[in-house]
């Protein structure tokens, strides 16, 4: 009351404070960081260990398993998974939330530094932190009018300029081909002159060096002297001298052909069907997409200005998506404000009264923005949705205060300035305890949210704090701005308000209905309990997902081909998938990228498309189902993609013996493929390919003075070639590769005939020291906690058939050593849902504590708490009706509902307790409901109707928070009926006809 009295006495000071609020609030809006979603950090560390030239099985045995053994004893590690593929090992460690990741990183780094000495010589490990910036922030395409070697131009001119940007973490160019100098060795000549590959590469590298030779004095200057043997032309390379085994000198051109060649294209990049060079840009963890976009576009403009023939097109910019999403939420907020204002006017019928209540919205939003900025929160879909959600709640306190001021004026005979001042002060004072209690109950439900450490806590803490800021701001506004405006503008409650007559009719009808319900208390109680029980049973069968994805209008097609597949076959698969994307009229543009047996086609859909992104993805799945010999995954891209399943069905098989696990997996895949209710059946090991295995005999090799690593190095040189040096041509560096003819070593017999040079100076054939044979090898070997793992996926054709597949296919094929595991998505969902359930339970307890303190009676508190379970009828019913699934946002909606649905009950019970001082119990119950009918309808309808735009999932990100709005609309709608019709019955049952005694101390 003290603050209200101060405001009424010092109106000028209050107005100045509001002007400061306006200035600082607008400043906070413009200075806020813009993001699509809140930053989330996953407690994960990744170990990367490249092992060039090694197959998946060798990588697993020689690299992955030693790493697993070393790091499995680290403290705080929750789970460990690994992937061994051709030339690369990856081990991912997941830690418990709350672990000090800096300390974990240092401990892991120490482990890897000590282990590195035990790994193969050419294996170097690196440790990196997992973050949510793994996807590209921007994608560019590059074209040039006259540059013949576009890839090298981009790699040496464009990429370095983009890497200079401080906010950019990584820049990768893909597509096209590059030129290089090919030194094609002639085996017969090399044997004739007894020259090895090592001698040639050594001669080339030393021939391109500049040696410092000291200093000399010329006049008054001291000059440095260097001796150079640089080769700048092909002719220079041809004349590089090489010492033969007999000590003679031959020139490189005597034993090799030297010419410019084009590298075999290792990657493909196309934009809208046209060959191009694509560039993907990733941002620094500490930077925002908006900063990167601005800096990159400035760099692009500078590059294009410096070269008239250069054209760089922005194919994808995350900043545009962020702005579009935030604009959609802003539109939703404006609609919510307009709806709230319309409801207020309909009930009051006076524009002054409507503006007074409506003024609490901008006041509360601006103050909330100041608090959000001070707390370091960004403006994103989640925090802005909290503001939208808060719009309806912001006016609740103001409505209650204004209603009370009107009643105080009606009871007073003074219609002058003093009379309005007394009414403003007295009316606010009467309800201050009620609005304080309802505000606190709304806020306390977010206390448990502040202690959540998982994904839920990281994503929704900002939302919880934002709603608390809104509610506290609205409370302050109701106690200051509303009474001051009431005094200044003197609004009048008109009898001609559109809702006056309907409200009077509803009050009369309410009195009749309640008179009958109170006469059948136990029947009402029994029926209501049955309805709740049935609702809970039906709700248990509803579908659930971790997070509802936003509709970004982007569909991603991932294509995995077998290792070693011919480039012509791979391109045919890509072309068939590309044709599906290109033929869809919903596609505005698309980008194709392929490298190292893996490719993606990203389709960007039109804004005026006639299908949702999910529907387009489902359509493409069916149309690409007949593309064989590869694994194709189609999904609607989303900022929450890492929290969604890519396929309808997924089962993970675990086993200690890989061969046994593979046999069971192959059998399951065959049985599932024969079924009609699933399509796109794939296994994580299906892309196997025959590889040539060279098994070195250690005894025979040692007899010749050779080691397995030395033999492997020489074989790699002969098959893959070696980069000896670089040559500058027209300002661009070109690689100089020493290679054998492409058809030199293609067959097993040719490989057996490889001649190895011995340290002693002689030669030995590869087949004399090693066994050479073909062997099928998977593209990768996956393990979880040291247990082999194979994942089988499929899509449904006839609804959810998971139970049928599990019972008819999976269970019969499981042996004693083969088990099924929980995939990471289901495990995350179980953990996050459990955390939210605990938060909801704690929130219920906190609300009970606050109301008990407010009423000074646990009984009255428990009475109001009965509105919570009965509000679930409306929430689950509306979820079922709209087809919205149970998700993290839906459960967060239940958390918020607990704090809001009890507000009407608080006002009702408080009014009953006041009336019982002068009335009997039955009359008090009926008249309290009739009196509170109007404010209950006003506050509830403003909150409910203002959430409708959010419930309609307007815009690309609307579906993310749709469940939250649906839960609250359904729950609050049911809450109106519970507060007005069921709560009086419960009050009568629990309190009887005893009068309430209040000690007057």
Q: For position 65, what pLDDT does the model report? A: 92
Q: For position 436, what pLDDT does the model report? A: 86
pLDDT digits (tens, 9 = 90+) for 48-107: 998 877 778 888 988 999 999 988 888 888 889 999 988 889 999 988 887 888 889 899
Average confidence score pLDDT of the chain: 84
Q: Is the pLDDT of residue 659 over 50?
A: yes
Q: For position 229, what pLDDT does the model report? A: 44
**Cβ–Cβ under 8 Å, residues 260 and 181:** yes
User: What's the rounded mean pLDDT across residues 538-553?
Assistant: 77
Question: Of 130-144, 273-287, 977-991, which range is least confident?
Answer: 130-144
Q: For position 300, what pLDDT does the model report? A: 93
User: What's the rounded mean pLDDT across residues 671-679?
Assistant: 89
Beta strands in 894-955 (DSSP E): none
- The pair phi, psi for residue 916, each rounded to 5°, is -70, -10
pLDDT band per the 50, 70, 90 thresholds, residue 225: very low
Residue 534, classed as helix, strand or coil, is: helix
Q: For position 329, what pLDDT does the model report? A: 86
Name the helix (H) or strand (E) containing 93.
Answer: strand 88-95
Q: Is the pLDDT of residue 643 over 80?
A: no
- Of the candidates 291, 297, 298, 299, the one whose C-alpha atom is nearest the C-alpha of residue 314 is 297
- The pair phi, psi for residue 817, each rounded to 5°, is -100, -10
- Dist CA 563 CA 561 (whole Å): 6
pLDDT band per the 50, 70, 90 thresholds, residue 563: low
Q: Is the pLDDT of residue 839 over 60?
A: yes
- For residue 598, count CB atoms less than 10 angstroms from its CB and return exposed for 0-12, middle for 13-18, buried for 19 or more: middle
- Dist CA 113 CA 117 (whole Å): 8
Q: For position 90, what pLDDT does the model report? A: 93
- Of the candidates 725, 701, 729, 728, the one whose C-alpha atom is nearest the C-alpha of residue 713 is 701
- Dist CA 474 CA 368 (whole Å): 9
pLDDT digits (tens, 9 = 90+) for 465-511: 998 999 899 999 999 999 999 888 888 766 666 777 888 889 899 99
pLDDT band per the 50, 70, 90 thresholds, residue 299: very high
User: What's the rounded mean pLDDT across residues 636-645?
Assistant: 65
- Dist CA 430 CA 960 (whole Å): 40
Tokens 């492409």 locate to 742
Q: For position 729, what pLDDT does the model report? A: 66
Token pair recorded at residue 515: 């008179």
Q: For position 494, what pLDDT does the model report? A: 66
pLDDT band per the 50, 70, 90 thresholds, residue 905: confident
pTM of the model: 0.77
Q: For position 132, what pLDDT does the model report? A: 59
- Of the candidates 833, 820, 881, the one whose C-alpha atom is nearest the C-alpha of residue 649 is 820
pLDDT digits (tens, 9 = 90+) for 402-419: 888 888 888 877 667 778
**Cβ–Cβ under 8 Å, residues 575 and 594:** no
**Cβ–Cβ under 8 Å, residues 390 and 968:** no
pLDDT digits (tens, 9 = 90+) for 449-463: 888 877 788 888 888
* Domains detected in the chain: 1-31+349-432+453-498 (1.20.1640.10), 44-129 (3.30.70.1430), 499-541+825-1001 (1.20.1640.10), 553-637 (3.30.70.1430), 689-780 (3.30.2090.10)
- Determine the angle formed by the axes of helices 417-444 and 902-915, rounding to 10 degrees: 130
User: What's the rounded mean pLDDT across residues 952-957?
Assistant: 75
- The pair phi, psi for residue 675, each rounded to 5°, is -85, 155
Q: For position 226, what pLDDT does the model report? A: 40
Q: Is the pLDDT of residue 851 over 90?
A: no
- Dist CA 504 CA 960 (whole Å): 40
Q: For position 1, what pLDDT does the model report? A: 60
- Dist CA 524 CA 25 (whole Å): 50
- Residue 632's Cα: distance from chain center in Å? 22
Q: Is the pLDDT of residue 638 over 80?
A: no
pLDDT digits (tens, 9 = 90+) for 799-821: 788 889 989 999 998 887 888 88
Q: For position 283, what pLDDT does the model report? A: 87
Name the helix (H) or strand (E) containing 92.
Answer: strand 88-95
Question: Of 122-136, 609-623, 984-998, which range is least confident?
Answer: 984-998
Q: Higher confidence at residue 545 or residue 369?
A: 369
Contacts for 508 with CB less than 8 Å, ≥ 6 apart: none
pLDDT band per the 50, 70, 90 thresholds, residue 581: very high
Q: For position 509, what pLDDT does the model report? A: 92
Q: Higher confidence at residue 924 or residue 716?
A: 924
Q: What percentage of residues in the chain have a pLDDT greater than 70?
A: 92
**Cβ–Cβ under 8 Å, residues 174 and 278:** yes
Q: For position 584, what pLDDT does the model report? A: 93
Q: For position 264, what pLDDT does the model report? A: 59
User: What's the rounded mean pLDDT across residues 10-28?
Assistant: 91
pLDDT digits (tens, 9 = 90+) for 373-391: 998 888 888 888 888 888 8
User: What's the rounded mean pLDDT across residues 190-211?
Assistant: 74
Question: Of 137-141, 562-566, 839-843, 928-932, which range is least confident?
Answer: 562-566
pLDDT digits (tens, 9 = 90+) for 305-330: 999 889 999 988 888 888 888 888 88
Q: For position 224, what pLDDT does the model report? A: 46
Q: For position 999, what pLDDT does the model report? A: 44
User: What's the rounded mean pLDDT across residues 823-836?
Assistant: 81
Q: For position 554, what pLDDT does the model report? A: 87
């Amino acid at each position: 009351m003290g603050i209200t009295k101060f405001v009424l006495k010092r109106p000028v000071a209050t107005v100045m404070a509001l002007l400061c609020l306006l200035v600082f609030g607008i400043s906070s809006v413009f200075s806020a960081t813009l993001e699509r979603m809140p930053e989330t950090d996953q407690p994960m560390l990744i170990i990367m260990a490249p092992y060039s030239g090694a197959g998946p099985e060798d990588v697993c045995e020689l690299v992955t398993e030693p790493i697993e053994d070393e790091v499995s004893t680290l403290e705080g590690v929750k789970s460990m998974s690994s992937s061994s593929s051709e030339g690369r090992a990856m081990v991912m460690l997941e830690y418990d939330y709350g672990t000090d990741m800096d300390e974990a990183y240092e401990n892991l780094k120490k482990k890897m530094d000590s282990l590195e000495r035990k790994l193969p010589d050419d294996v170097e490990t690196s440790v990196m932190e997992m973050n949510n910036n793994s996807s590209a922030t921007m994608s560019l395409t590059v074209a040039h009018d006259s540059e013949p070697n576009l890839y090298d131009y981009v790699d040496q001119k464009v990429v370095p300029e983009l890497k200079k940007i401080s906010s950019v973490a990584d820049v990768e160019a893909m597509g096209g081909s590059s030129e290089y100098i090919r030194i094609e060795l002639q085996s017969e000549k090399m044997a004739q002159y007894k020259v090895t590959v090592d001698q040639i590469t050594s001669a080339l590298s030393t021939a391109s060096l500049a040696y410092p030779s000291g200093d000399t004095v010329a006049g008054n200057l001291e000059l440095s002297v260097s001796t150079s043997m640089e080769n700048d032309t092909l002719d220079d390379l041809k004349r590089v001298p090489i010492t033969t085994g007999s000590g003679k000198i031959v020139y490189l051109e005597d034993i090799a052909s030297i010419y410019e060649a084009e590298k075999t294209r290792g990657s493909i990049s196309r934009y809208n069907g046209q060959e191009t060079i694509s560039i993907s840009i990733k941002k620094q963890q500490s930077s925002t997409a908006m900063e990167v976009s601005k800096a990159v576009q400035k760099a692009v403009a500078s590059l294009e200005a410096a070269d008239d023939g250069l054209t760089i097109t922005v194919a994808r910019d995350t900043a545009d998506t962020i702005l579009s999403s935030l604009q959609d939420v802003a539109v939703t907020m404006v609609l919510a404000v307009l709806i709230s204002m319309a409801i207020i006017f309909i009930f009051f019928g006076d524009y002054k009264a409507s503006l007074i209540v409506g003024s609490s919205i901008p006041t509360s939003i601006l103050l909330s923005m100041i608090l959000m900025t001070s707390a370091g929160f960004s403006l994103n879909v989640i925090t802005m949705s909290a503001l939208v959600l808060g719009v309806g709640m912001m006016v609740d306190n103001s409505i209650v205060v204004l209603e009370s001021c009107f009643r105080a004026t009606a009871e007073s005979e003074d219609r002058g300035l003093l009379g309005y001042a007394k009414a403003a002060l007295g009316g606010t004072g009467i309800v201050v305890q009620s609005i304080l209690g309802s505000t606190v109950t709304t806020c306390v439900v977010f206390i448990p949210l502040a202690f959540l450490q998982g994904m839920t806590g990281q994503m929704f803490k900002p939302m919880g704090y934002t709603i608390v800021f809104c509610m506290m701001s609205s409370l302050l506004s109701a106690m200051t701005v509303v009474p001051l405006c009431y005094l200044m503008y003197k609004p009048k409650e008109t009898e001609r308000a559109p809702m006056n007559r309907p409200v009077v009719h509803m009050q009369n009808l309410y009195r009749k209905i309640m008179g009958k319900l109170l006469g059948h208390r136990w029947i009402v109680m029994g029926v209501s309990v049955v309805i709740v029980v049935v609702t809970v049973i039906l709700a248990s069968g509803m579908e659930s997902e971790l997070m509802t994805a936003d509709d970004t209008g982007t569909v991603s097609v991932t294509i995995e081909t077998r290792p070693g597949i011919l480039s012509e076959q791979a391109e045919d698969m890509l072309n068939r998938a590309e044709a599906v994307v290109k033929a869809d009229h919903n596609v505005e543009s698309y980008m194709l990228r392929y490298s190292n047996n893996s490719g993606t086609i990203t389709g960007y859909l039109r804004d005026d498309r006639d299908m949702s992104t999910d529907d387009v993805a489902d359509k493409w799945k069916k149309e690409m189902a007949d593309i064989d010999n590869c694994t194709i995954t189609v999904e609607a891209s989303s900022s929450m993609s890492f929290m969604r399943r890519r396929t309808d069905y997924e089962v993970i098989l675990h086993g200690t013996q890989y061969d046994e696990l593979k046999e069971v997996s192959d059998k399951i895949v065959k049985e599932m493929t024969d079924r009609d209710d699933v399509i796109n059946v794939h296994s994580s090991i299906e892309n196997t390919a025959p590889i040539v295995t060279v098994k070195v005999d250690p005894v025979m090799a040692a007899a010749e003075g050779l080691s397995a690593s030395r033999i492997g190095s020489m074989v790699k040189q002969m098959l893959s070639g070696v980069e000896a040096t670089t040559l500058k041509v027209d300002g661009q560096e070109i690689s100089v590769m020493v290679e054998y003819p492409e058809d030199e070593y293609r067959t097993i017999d040719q490989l057996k005939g490889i001649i190895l040079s011995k340290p002693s100076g002689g030669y030995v054939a590869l087949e004399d020291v090693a066994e050479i044979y073909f062997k099928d090898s998977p593209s990768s070997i996956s393990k979880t906690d040291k247990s082999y793992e194979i994942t089988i996926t499929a899509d449904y054709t006839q609804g959810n058939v998971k139970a049928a597949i599990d019972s008819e296919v999976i269970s019969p094929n499981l042996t004693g050593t083969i088990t099924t595991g929980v995939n990471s998505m289901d495990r995350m969902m179980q953990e996050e849902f459990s955390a939210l359930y605990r938060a909801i339970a704690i929130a219920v307890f906190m609300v009970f504590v606050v109301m008990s303190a407010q009423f000074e009676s646990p009984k009255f508190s428990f009475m109001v708490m009965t509105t919570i379970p009965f509000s679930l009828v409306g929430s689950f019913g509306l979820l079922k009706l709209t087809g919205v699934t149970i998700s993290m946002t839906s459960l967060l909606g239940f958390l918020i509902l607990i704090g809001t649905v009890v507000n009407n009950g608080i006002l009702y019970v408080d009014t009953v307790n006041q009336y019982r001082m002068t009335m009997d119990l039955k009359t008090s119950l009926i008249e309290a409901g009739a009196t509170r009918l109007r404010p209950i309808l006003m506050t509830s309808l403003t909150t409910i109707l203002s959430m409708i735009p959010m419930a309609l999932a307007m815009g690309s990100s609307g579906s993310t928070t749709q469940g939250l709005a649906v839960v609250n609309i359904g729950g609050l709608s049911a809450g109106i009926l519970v507060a007005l019709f069921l709560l009086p019955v419960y009050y009568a049952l629990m309190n009887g006809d005893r009068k309430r005694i209040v000690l007057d101390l």
